[in-house]
Amino acid sequence: MDRMLVVVFPNESKAYEGKRALQQLDSEGSISVYAYAVVTKNADGTASVKQGDDVGPIGTLVGTSLGSLIGILGGPVGVAAGAAAGMAAGSALDLNNIRVGTDFIDDVQEALVPTNVALVAEVDEEWTTPVDTRMEAIGGNVHRRALSEVRDKVDDEDVAAMKADLAQLKAEHAKAHTDRKAKLEQKINQLDSKIQAQLQRAKEKRDAAQRKAQAKVQALKARADAAKAKAS
């Protein structure tokens, strides 16, 4: 399953150690890494991409979901100038290209404070345990979200992606050893809460759209009745 992976570390040294672990998992066949970068948050709110020439088999961050996410993490100012070769702010800030929900972005932005460093990657992983176990041992806090298949995603696609992650976690929980079950259960509960919140937001948006449509119909009807009365 294609996922956006963000692992937040307390410093650059740990982040580079995490990147090496991610590459090792790729070489072992545990996951497939499409693109990756080490990102720091600067004091002025911009994001700097470290080792910008080392972004995985895709070979460039421009136009990718990863590049777009990094642009958003940079805040209104965008990615710091010269942070990654060829990455223009316009390309990095393509909102339609991120393919993850806004709640995921909010979680990552909250975790990525100026004192922390993030390993950001687009990966294909069948199980979350290999990455989680390796990153947690290094001191990383893992955030992940399944990527929507289309760029113009809707609420239903975001929920479907989260439900796919939830099903994966539940499957792992059923097979996990006792020491791992507690961590997986916590992740399951957190993701289930996010799903319920997203469903509620989607319902509120649909209800508001329906009320707006009904108001338009009533306004058109009132206008037609007024025109008819005037003509008679």
CA distance 194 to 204: 15
Contact between residue 43 and residue 54 where contact means Cβ atoms under 8 Å apart: no
Q: pLDDT tens digit string along 94-149?
A: 555 677 878 888 889 889 988 899 999 988 888 999 999 999 999 999 999 988 75
178-231 and 102-111 helices, crossing angle to 10°: 130
Contact between residue 82 and residue 53 where contact means Cβ atoms under 8 Å apart: no
pLDDT given for residue 152 in this prediction: 42
Please name the residue ranges forming H helices in 112-143.
129-138
Q: Residue type at 56?
A: G
pTM of the model: 0.61
pLDDT given for residue 223 in this prediction: 57
The string of DSSP letters for 26-71 reads HHHTSEEEEEEEEEEE-TTS-EEEETTT---TT---TTSHHHHHHH
Which of 124, 142, 122 lies closest to 132 in space, CA to CA?
142
State which residues of the chain have pLDDT below 50.
53-59, 76-93, 150-153, 212, 216
CA distance 135 to 21: 8
CA distance 77 to 122: 23
Which of 70, 55, 66, 68 lies closest to 3 in space, CA to CA?
66
How far apart, in Å, are the Cα atoms of 180 and each of 169, 186, 203?
11, 10, 35
HSE, side-chain direction, 13 A CA sphere, residue 120: 33
pLDDT given for residue 41 in this prediction: 84
Domain limits, the chain: 1-147, 154-232
